[in-house]
Amino acid sequence: MNLDSAINLAAGNLPEGFELILSIENGGYDASVRYTSGTFSLDVEIEADTLIDHIIESVDMAKDMAPDYVFSQNDTQETAEQLSARHSVQVKCSREEASIAIGLSELLNFESSLFRRSEEFGKYRIGNKNYYVVSIANTDYIFKQA
With DSSP H G I counted as helix, E B as strand and the rest as coil, what are the percentages for the chain, rounded to 5?
Answer: 40, 35, 25
Q: Count H helices, E strands: the chain?
A: 5, 8
How far is the CA of 31 from the CAs of 25, 99, 107, in angstroms? 12, 19, 26
Q: Answer whether 133's CB lies under 8 Å from 141's CB.
A: yes
Same domain, yes or no: 61 and 77: no
Q: Could you say which DSSP state residue 124 is in?
A: E
Q: Which of 32, 65, 98 is the last residue of a domain?
A: 65
Q: What is the value of pTM for the model shown?
A: 0.66
Domain span at 114: 69-145
Same domain, yes or no: 77 and 48: no
Same domain, yes or no: 120 and 92: yes
Closest CA to 76 of 118, 131, 136, 139: 139
Closest CA to 69 of 41, 45, 93: 93
pLDDT one-digit tens code per residue, 26-40: 777 777 888 887 777
Q: Which of 46, 65, 84 is the last residue of a domain?
A: 65
Specify the number of domains making up the chain: 2
Same domain, yes or no: 90 and 140: yes
Same domain, yes or no: 86 and 116: yes
Helix (H, G, I), strand (E, B) or coil at 43: strand
Same domain, yes or no: 84 and 140: yes
Q: How far apart are CA 18 and CA 62, in angstroms?
A: 7
**Percent of the chain scoring above 90 in pLDDT:** 23
Q: How far apart are CA 17 and CA 27, in angstroms?
A: 30
Q: Which of 65, 87, 119 is the last residue of a domain?
A: 65
Same domain, yes or no: 50 and 109: no
Same domain, yes or no: 59 and 73: no
Same domain, yes or no: 100 and 138: yes
- In this prediction, residues 103-113 reach a mean pLDDT of 86
pLDDT one-digit tens code per residue, 30-74: 778 888 877 777 777 777 777 788 788 888 777 777 767 888 888
